[in-house]
Amino acid sequence: MPPTAIEVETPQITTQPSRVESRRWVPLAFGAVYILWGSTYLGIRIAIESMPPLAMAAIRHSLVGLILYPILRWKTGFKPTAANWWTASVTGVLLLCVSNGGLSWAEQRVPSGIAALLVATVSLWLVIVDWLRPGGTRPVARVLVGLLLGFAGLALLVGPAKLAGAHRIDVLGTGVLMVCAFVWACASLYSKHRPVPGSPLLVVAMQSLAGAAALWIAALVSGELSTLHFAAITPRSWMALIYLIVFGSGMGFTAYLYILKKSTAAKVATYGFVNPVVALFLGWLIAAEPITARTILAAAIILTAVILVISAPKAQKT
């Protein structure tokens, strides 16, 4: 999952120097978001080979927050208000503890590529939550078709028990990932209408600190801390964790912020269906995760649904 749910406007730059710069850097930034964020699912799977999942996520987001927050406070000169901290705490707990922590836990039971595919349903849940909230937005017919297709694809992944010679995906792991996607959608809409600092990266740092604190508590309550032995963590898992911090949370999000400023919202949204494809491929190539006929069919259905939803014209208020 992407690290935050910040809503950022995407103004179009019209000056000639910016156009020249965009032609040079925007394709590279898109490639970084596609590949780096798509690869984080495999990174999580490798990291939890010798680390408890909640503790791994707690370490990851603690380091991100502790590194970024003092640097950005000094660089921006902005002192977050109590309201800013409340928003960051709520969204940090929901996004990083519940959603990202749940994803890390679920990857013990679900292949990383399938996990990425299920997380892509955030786009579908966003539509549903925004529709059902008071004064929400009614989806157009095209989006409704996308919703039906998306959940048909999910049904295909988890049942019947055998189809096209392939077993269904673990039901518990799938359920946890659906909760993760739903919570991510709720937190995204919540953050959209709440006060946040002007610097998106400062928001990331604040969310990371709050989410990490909740993850440490969750790891303690679940008993994971008693199973966390640093001497038993393999170099392979350490390298995966470093990759998640530097490339997933650092470079990946920096590239994301860049394309938000230099491109259109519709183009930026394409990462939502490219990431699962990258994750499925990398899981098959590096971790030998099987790609069955059931997986291919379900992926085609779900990603078509996501494309329909994110490319639909603006809906109307109910």
Q: What is the pTM of this model?
A: 0.87
Rg of the chain over Cα atoms, rounded to whole angstroms, equals 19
Write down the residue that tokens 């409704």 correspond to.
144
Structure tokens at 302: 């779900």
The one-letter amino acid at 299: A
Looking at residue 57, what is its pLDDT? 96
Nearest to 182 by CA among 190, 194, 170, 171: 190
Looking at residue 162, what is its pLDDT? 62
205 φ, ψ (degrees, to nearest 5): -65, -45
Task: Please report, for the chain, the start and end positions of each structural domain, with discontinuous segments joined by +.
Answer: 16-112+154-291
Looking at residue 13, what is its pLDDT? 38
DSSP structure class, residue 291: -
Rounded Cα distance, 118 and 179, in Å: 10
Looking at residue 8, what is its pLDDT? 40
Rounded Cα distance, 77 and 177, in Å: 38
Q: Give the residues of the chain that fall short of pLDDT 70.
A: 1-23, 160-167, 265-266, 314-318
Structure tokens at 281: 């491929």
Q: Is the peptide bond before 160 cis (omega within 30 degrees of 0)?
A: yes
Rounded Cα distance, 138 and 173, in Å: 31
The one-letter amino acid at 102: G
